[in-house]
Amino acid sequence: MSDTPWKTDSFFSSPWNYLPEVTESFELPQEITIHDVTLRDGEQQAGVEFTADDKLRIAEALSEGGIHRIEAGLPAVSPADTEAVKRIAAAGLDAEIYAFSRCMVSDVQLAIDCGVTGVIMEVPASHHLIEKAYRWPVERAIEASIESTKFAHENGLKVTFFPIDATRASMTQLLDDLETVATNGYVDNIGLVDTFGVCSPHAISYYTRRVKERLDVPLETHFHMDFGMGVANTLLAAGEGASVLQTTVSGLGERAGNAPTEETVLALLTMYGKDIGVKTEKFTEIARLVAELSGVTQPGNRPVTGERLFNVESGIITTWVKNAGTELTEPFPYRPELVGQPQPESVLGKGSGIDSVAIWLGKLGIHDAETKDIETILFEVKGVSLAKKGLLDEDEFRAIVSQVLPGRVS
C-alpha cells in the first residue's frame, strides 16, 4: 500500500480511514466478490419488467465491467425468466452465473436445467413470517430447506442458503435453524439477509460476528435500503469478514431498493484501499443502460452515476474547479473518469458567480469583458434562473449578453 492510500491520482478520501486505530479491528477478506442481483431483485422494483433480451444485454455489460457473479433470475417465475437464465448461462460470460430458487426441489431442478453453476436458495427465517405470512408450520420450512439444499448439492450446484427476514428473527432461533440446515442439508455459503432494511450498522456487525462464530462457512450480504443503510451495512459486514456482497446497479430493487453496486465498490476502493477488480470506469455506462431498460429515472445527483453529479452551479465551487485545473480531486472526492463520467461543467443558475459568467462568456469568444459588465450579466442570470426555477440554456445566456454587450454576440 502506498504512503498515502487515501490520496491517489484518481481520488482523495479521508486519511482518517487508514489510521491504525480505525483499521485494527478490520477483518476484510483477501478476496471480495460482487454478486449482482439486478436481474432478480432489481426487477422486483414495482413497474420494472425486463425481457430476456434486456437481461442478456445487462448481464453482458455487467460481465464486461468485471462483476464476478450474476444472479440471472428465478426460473420458476415464468417461461420468459427460464429462457433468460438459460441464455445468460450459455453466453460464455466471464462472470459466474447463479439462479435464485425457493427451497423447493422443483425450483432447484429448473435451475439445474438452465445450466447455472450456483443457486441462491431462499426460505423465511423468522418464525413469525413463516407462520403469519406463509401460513406454514416452522418444521415445514426447515424440512424443505434440508431436502432442497441437499438436492442442489448432489446435482453439482454451489449453494447459498438465503434466510429471508433474518434480522427480525430471534438470534438464538436463527442460529439454531441455520446450523440445522447446514448440518442435515447442505450450504456452501450463508446469506446475511436484511430483507426489510431494518438493521442498524452496529447491529449488522453483531449479526455478522454471531453467524461467523457459529458456522464456519463464507458469508454473503444482502441488505436493503429502506432506511438508507444498505451500503454502510454491507461495508461493516465486509469489515467483519463477509466475502460476497450482493448489490444492484443504481440500487434498483424491491421497495427502496438494494445496496447499490457503484457506491459499495467505490467506497471499498477509496475508503478501505480495496481494489476488487471491478471496472469502475464502466459504472456510468452500465447505470445508463439499466435506467433505459428498466424505465427508472435516477436523480441527477445520484452518487457516482448521477447525470448532474459533475455539474457545478455554485460560484464558490466554480472558482475552486477553475483554480484547481487538472487537480480535480481538490474540488471533488474522485475524478469523473474513474466512474465513466464526463469532465466537470459549469452551469448557470441563481447560485452562479463571476467566474461562472466569465467561463460562459469565453464559450462565446468574449474574453475581455469588464468586471462591471460581468456583474450586470450575473445579476440578470440570477433573475432569469429564479423566475424559471432552473438553469439557463445557451440561448437565454446569449439574450442577456446581447442586452448588456450589444454587438458582441453573433
Residues 208-248: tens digit of each pLDDT? 999 999 999 999 999 999 999 999 999 999 999 999 999 99
Averaged pLDDT for residues 393-400: 96
Between CA 212 and CA 219 the distance in angstroms is 8
Q: Structural domain boundaries of the chain?
A: 15-294, 311-404
Residues 310-323: tens digit of each pLDDT? 999 999 999 999 99
Exposure of 382 by Cβ count < 10 A (0-12 exposed, 13-18 middle, 19+ buried)? middle
Largest CA distance in the chain: 85
Q: What is the pLDDT of residue 407?
A: 85
Residue 293 has pLDDT above 80, yes or no: yes
Using CA atoms, how far residue 343 sits from 325, 334, 346, 361, 404, in Å, is 12, 11, 10, 19, 30
Residue 410 has pLDDT above 90, yes or no: no
- Which helix H or strand E contains 76, and what residues bound it? none
Contact between 215 and 182 under an 8 Å Cβ cutoff? The reply is yes
Residue 133 has pLDDT above 80, yes or no: no
Q: What is the pLDDT of residue 129?
A: 67
Residue 297 has pLDDT above 90, yes or no: yes
Residues 162-214: tens digit of each pLDDT? 999 999 999 999 999 999 999 999 999 999 999 999 999 999 999 999 999 99
Averaged pLDDT for residues 45-69: 97
Residue 329 has pLDDT above 70, yes or no: yes
Residue 131 has pLDDT above 70, yes or no: no
Between CA 319 and CA 343 the distance in angstroms is 15
Averaged pLDDT for residues 34-54: 97
Q: What is the pLDDT of residue 125?
A: 75
Between CA 293 and CA 397 the distance in angstroms is 35
DSSP symbol at 338: G
Residues 372-388: tens digit of each pLDDT? 999 999 999 999 999 99
Mean pLDDT of the chain: 95
Amino acid at 381: V
Q: What is the pLDDT of residue 2?
A: 77
Residues 104-120: tens digit of each pLDDT? 999 999 999 999 999 99
Q: What is the pLDDT of residue 140?
A: 81
User: Strand 96-102 to strand 158-164: parallel, antiparallel, or no bridges (unpaired)?
Assistant: unpaired
Q: Which CATH architecture has domain 15-294?
A: Alpha-Beta Barrel (3.20)
Q: Which residues contact 86 (CB under 8 A, 6 or more apart)?
A: 113, 114, 115
* Helices and strands (DSSP H and E) totals, the chain: 15, 10
Share of the chain above pLDDT 70, in %: 98
Q: What is the pLDDT of residue 134?
A: 64
Q: What is the pLDDT of residue 409?
A: 84
Whole-structure pTM value = 0.94
Rg (CA), the chain: 25
Residues 11-34: tens digit of each pLDDT? 999 999 999 999 999 999 999 999
Q: Which residues contact 106 (CB under 8 A, 6 or more apart)?
A: 76
